[in-house]
Amino acid sequence: MIRNPEVLCKKLGLAFNNPELFTIALTHRSAGANNNERLEFLGDSILGFVIAQKLYKLFPKAGEGVLSRLRASLVNEESLAGLARQHQLGDYLRLGLGELKSGGCRRDSILSDALEAVMGALFIDQGIAACQQWIEHIFAEKLQSLSLDNWQKDPKTQLQELMQSKKLDLPDYVLQTMSGLAHEQTFKVKCTVPLTSETCIGVGVSRKKAEQSAAEQMLELLNKDSK
């Protein structure tokens, strides 16, 4: 039995002027045409902006690469699904029969999409200020736990530690080409890891810089795949 969305709304500390928006945000496409896909699209963009702005203020000395990685650590499917579970959002989802039978209310993709849809609905209902305040509230614990210590490590070190944390083989770097005159050479290096079949090509004025470039691209790829 689907629980009353008003109960969840109160749990989340929200009060909608148009409660129907909140109901739609909890409605998966398997339940009908009037679903949360458009709201999720909107919420995804708003979330990225709000978190980016918050990180910009929290870490004034962090560069673009560090800020991007910090944001990716927060704004991804696993992180959002965890927040959704924390608030028992799955108990209030409106799913089609097939998704109900297959346990859709517990699936990361459905939970994360629904949470972003709630953000989109709140923006439509009350504007960016209210939406920003609520997003910062539900992300408060995650934001407080962030530290620049790990994120300021170079990309190769980060990628290596990621593989080690998952007990996987270390990244493999293979020199693809080396061109140019001796004093202005260009190196191309291919990076592969066990977590994906895709490869990343880094380019640099030294082999080390090319490897760092390839590692940074691989980290970005893995962060996108996890969303």
For 75-101, what is each residue's pLDDT tens digit? 988 889 999 999 999 999 999 988 888
What pLDDT, on the 0 to 100 scale, is given for residue 174? 97
Alpha carbons 79 and 22: distance in angstroms, whole number: 21
Query: Does the annotation mark 116 as catalytic?
Result: yes
What pLDDT, on the 0 to 100 scale, is given for residue 2? 62
Please tell me the pTM assigned to this model. Answer: 0.69
Tell me the average pLDDT across 154-178.
91
Selected residue with higher pLDDT from 161 and 113: 113
211 is in an annotated binding site: no
Which of 3.30.160.20, 3.65.10.10, 3.40.50.11540, 3.40.640.10 is the CATH number of 155-225?
3.30.160.20
List pLDDT tens digits, range 174-208.
999 999 887 778 999 999 999 999 999 999 989 99
Taking Cα atoms as reference points, which of 213, 209, 210, 174 lies closest to residue 190? Answer: 174
20 is in an annotated binding site: no
Q: Which of 44, 99, 108, 125 is catalytic?
A: 44
Q: Do domains 5-151 and 155-225 have the same CATH topology?
A: no
As a CATH number, domain 5-151 is 1.10.1520.10
Residue 227: pLDDT band with limits 50, 70, 90: low
* Residue 226 clears pLDDT 70, i.e. is over it: no
List pLDDT tens digits, range 55-72.
999 999 888 878 887 888
91 is in an annotated binding site: no
SS3 per residue for 24-87: HHCECHHHCCCCCHHHHHHHHHHHHHHHHHHHHHHCCCCCHHHHHHHHHHHCCHHHHHHHHHHC
Burial (CB count <10 Å: 0-12, 13-18, 19+), residue 226: middle
What pLDDT, on the 0 to 100 scale, is given for residue 173? 97
Selected residue with higher pLDDT from 128 and 73: 128
What pLDDT, on the 0 to 100 scale, is given for residue 7? 92
What pLDDT, on the 0 to 100 scale, is given for residue 21? 97
Alpha carbons 50 and 41: distance in angstroms, whole number: 15
Burial (CB count <10 Å: 0-12, 13-18, 19+), residue 184: exposed
Domain boundaries, the chain: 5-151, 155-225
* Residue 1 clears pLDDT 60, i.e. is over it: no
* Residue 153 clears pLDDT 80, i.e. is over it: no
Residue 13: pLDDT band with limits 50, 70, 90: very high
Q: Which of 99, 108, 116, 211 is catalytic?
A: 116
Residue 29: pLDDT band with limits 50, 70, 90: very high
List pLDDT tens digits, range 101-152.
888 888 899 999 999 999 999 999 999 999 999 999 999 999 998 888 766 6
Query: Does the annotation mark 141 as catalytic?
Result: no
